[in-house]
């Protein structure tokens, strides 16, 4: 899903036809696709949610359950929280499911779609806030190797370890709002994972010292992968291979990047 960056949040719908809205953006009229995003923004008054970023407060729906939906720096990723559960973020492939779930709340006063999506994401994703606290307090991975982002951990400025535990090459210019991973324009779930990492045996849960919290198998596997990636030349002793990978990342970053 993409948005027209030149489209103001306070544009007004002045007509509908087929699968399009006719809007007045204050300077001219134009047609836009009739999508859940634009319906939420221009019909139901949730432009702050659709066009928001990390500075935008969450939108809270007390259905019940209480559902919090918060924008991130990506127009395809939202932070979701149901009642007092931990916050999770949708992968880009689930963007429409999030927005359709919000529409379901607005139209029908029910949150079945978002509640089911939230439960599914909780099952699949690591607890990113817990991992962030563990990394900052105990540094199981060399701190200089890690950059924590909305998408996961960027490691050694070359790998993205997502909250789902998948690994991609990062060919992004960090001062540019658009990034490439794996050679495509912004990552989707259909992109090919760069490397599949599997430890010998399943990691055991670990109770944090002096704390009531523990790292489950998913979090332990995430940290194992992060450490492997932070020490990749030691883990896989093949200088020619890594030289080629590093050159690919550098050359791709040097190419002009299209904005989403």
**pLDDT-based confidence at 67, cuts 50/70/90?**
very high
Residues 35 and 102 in one domain: yes
Q: What is the pLDDT of residue 4?
A: 54
Give the pairing of strands 20-24 and 146-148.
unpaired
Greater pLDDT, 188 or 47: 47
Domain limit, last residue, from 124, 152, 170: 124
Residues 135 and 54 in one domain: no
Residues 86 and 142 in one domain: no
Domain limit, last residue, from 124, 150, 178: 124
Residues 110 and 133 in one domain: no
Residues 180 and 192 in one domain: yes
Residues 75 and 162 in one domain: no
Q: What is the pLDDT of residue 249?
A: 82
Residues 18 and 114 in one domain: yes
Q: What is the pLDDT of residue 172?
A: 53
Q: What is the mean pLDDT of residues 149-178?
A: 74
Angle, CA of 209, 214 and 216, to the nearest 5°: 140
Q: In which domain, by residue range, is 45 found?
A: 12-124
**pLDDT-based confidence at 114, cuts 50/70/90?**
very high
Q: What is the pLDDT of residue 191?
A: 44
Note the pTM of the prediction, 2 decimals.
0.65
Q: What percent of the chain lies above the pLDDT cut of 70?
A: 82
Residues 135 and 191 in one domain: yes
Residues 168 and 230 in one domain: yes
Greater pLDDT, 81 or 1: 81
Residues 149 and 120 in one domain: no
Q: How many domains does the chain have?
A: 2
Instruction: Indicate whether 6 belongs to any domain.
Output: no
Instruction: Indicate whether 24 belongs to any domain.
Output: yes
**pLDDT-based confidence at 260, cuts 50/70/90?**
very low
**What is the phi-psi region of residue 157: left when phi exceeds 0, alpha when psi lies from -120 to 50, beta otherwise?**
left
Instruction: Indicate whether 159 belongs to any domain.
Output: yes
Full DSSP string of 49-87: HHH--TTSPPEEEESSSEEEEEE-SSTT-EEEEETTSPP
Instruction: Indicate whether 1 belongs to any domain.
Output: no
Residues 141 and 39 in one domain: no
- Identify which of 3, 83, 113 has the alpha carbon closest to the alpha carbon of residue 49: 3
Instruction: Indicate whether 4 belongs to any domain.
Output: no
Residues 138 and 249 in one domain: yes
pLDDT in tens, 75-106: 778 999 999 998 888 877 788 999 999 999 99
Domain limit, last residue, from 74, 96, 124: 124
Q: What is the pLDDT of residue 7?
A: 63
Q: What is the pLDDT of residue 187?
A: 40
């Amino acid at each position: 899903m993409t948005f027209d960056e030149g489209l103001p949040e306070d544009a007004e719908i002045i007509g509908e036809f087929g699968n399009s809205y006719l809007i007045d953006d204050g300077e001219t009229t134009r047609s836009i696709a009739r999508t859940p995003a634009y319906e939420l923004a221009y019909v139901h008054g949730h432009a702050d949610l659709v066009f928001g970023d990390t500075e935008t407060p969450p939108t809270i729906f007390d259905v019940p359950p209480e559902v919090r939906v918060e924008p991130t720096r990506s127009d395809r990723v939202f932070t979701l929280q149901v009642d007092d559960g931990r916050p999770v973020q949708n992968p880009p492939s689930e963007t429409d499911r999030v927005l359709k779930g919000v529409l379901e709340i607005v139209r029908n006063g029910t949150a079945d779609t978002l509640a089911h999506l939230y439960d599914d994401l909780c099952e699949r994703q690591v607890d990113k806030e817990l991992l962030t606290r563990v990394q900052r307090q105990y540094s199981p991975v060399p701190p200089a190797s890690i950059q924590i982002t909305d998408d996961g951990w960027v490691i050694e400025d070359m790998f993205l370890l997502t909250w789902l535990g998948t690994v991609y090459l990062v060919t992004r210019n960090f001062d540019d709002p658009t990034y490439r991973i794996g050679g495509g324009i912004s990552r989707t779930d259909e992109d090919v994972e760069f490397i599949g990492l599997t430890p010998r045996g399943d990691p055991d849960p670990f109770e944090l010292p002096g704390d009531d919290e523990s790292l489950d198998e998913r979090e332990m596997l995430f940290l194992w992968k992060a450490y492997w990636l932070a020490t990749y030349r030691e883990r896989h002793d093949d200088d020619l291979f890594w030289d080629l990978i590093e050159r690919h990342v550098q050359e791709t970053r040097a190419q002009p990047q299209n904005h989403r």
